[in-house]
Structure 1
Amino acid sequence: MIKIKLKQLLEEQNKTMYWLSKNTGIRPNTISQWVNNEELIEDKKVKEINVETLDKICKVLNCRVEDILEYVEDEKDHSK
């Protein structure tokens, strides 16, 4: 499972979703979906990650991809 750590990154940098939207041109709904991915119902979760979007976020937050995304093994994969 891919964990999106954008919420933590924004908090660490004292930035808001609004600020990120204004500085990247990414729709607020898209940013909100990334930030709130863990709390969303299954059919509302992020299904695709656009490389261009990821690039814009990395540029304005001056971070690396691994600061935003993390691979975490699913519990059900662990039980095999």
Structure 2
Amino acid sequence: MYELMPNEKKFVQIINIKDGGFVEFNFAVGEAVMNVELLLPYRAFIEFCQNNRVSFFTKEQENELLIDNKNWKYGLN
């Protein structure tokens, strides 16, 4: 595999580990609030994280994401 957008910071946030060893997670490039939800088998998740040199969301980023999701859901933007 190769690294996506090598000059950008990338982040992951694990949402859930499902039966069967699948990891459900958010993946962001640059800003935590601009993310996609992905699902990969555990080994593929580890490889994805290593190849993309990801960091885990900070508490601040997690809070920003919660606020943004609430604003989006309730139309507060």
TM-score by length of 2: 0.31
Between structures 1 and 2, the one with greater strand share: 2
Between structures 1 and 2, the one with greater helix share: 1
TM-score by length of 1: 0.30
